[in-house]
Amino acid sequence: MSFMRPRQIATFSVVLALLTAVAAGLSLVDYGQTSRTSAMSAMITRFFAVLIFGGFGLAVAQQSQMRGSLFLKSEEWRLTLRDLLNFGVLPGLVLGVINYLFFFAYRYSPFVEPRIRNMNSIYDSFVISLDSGLFEEVIFRLFIMSCFVFSFRHLYAKIMFMWPVLVAIIPTALSLVLSSLLFAMVHNVYGFTAAFFGGVLLGLIYLRSGIESAIAAHFVANFFFFSASYLS
């Protein structure tokens, strides 16, 4: 597994923070209920949040011997794009279809955010999906899940000699479940179950193919569900 240098981590974190801040600003301005000053303030807050948590998450992922980033760890662009498609876009499409089949009936529930219920264009769907996909994956997969894996691996390291196979699985399994539970808790009552199992899938994608594939899967799932549910 290739090694990420501090400069690479810093550069990648800045790019990720910029993209997330822009997506947040576009989403707020598009909704029309926020002034440009408030949108700018939100963008600055989002930028520093992703810069700090994203950079720390990448560093912790490296210490835990996790992939962390698909782009920073890959040595061939063709294989990188293949993994992004196979482990990001395609699973995201499947997740979007599942969400549509099970939650279409609840699309106008009062528990659903007004900016989602009231979307009326592909652009609305795009910016909301991009905003949630970027920020939530950085926080829940790149930061929280990486920290869980790091902590549990150190916690169980002392008994590794007793049950090496079991202890090799437990930290990752616990991290996957706990990060998915936290992810589900920030969603509404109708979305809790879907968010939990979706979080498990996104966590597996993150472990296998890095944060970029998790972001792609999250974006595609939301974009398909929102577009099919509110724009059809």
Where in the chain are the domains? Answer: 6-230
Neighbours of 185 (CB within 10 A): 10
For the stretch 38-53, pLDDT in tens is 889 999 999 999 999 9
Cα 118 to Cα 32, 125, 191, 204: the distances in Å are 11, 10, 18, 32
Q: Which DSSP category does 162 fall into?
A: T
Percent of the chain topping pLDDT 70: 96
pLDDT at residue number 230: 95
Closest CA to 133 of 15, 2, 20, 5: 20
What's 112's DSSP letter?
Answer: S
Prediction pTM value: 0.93
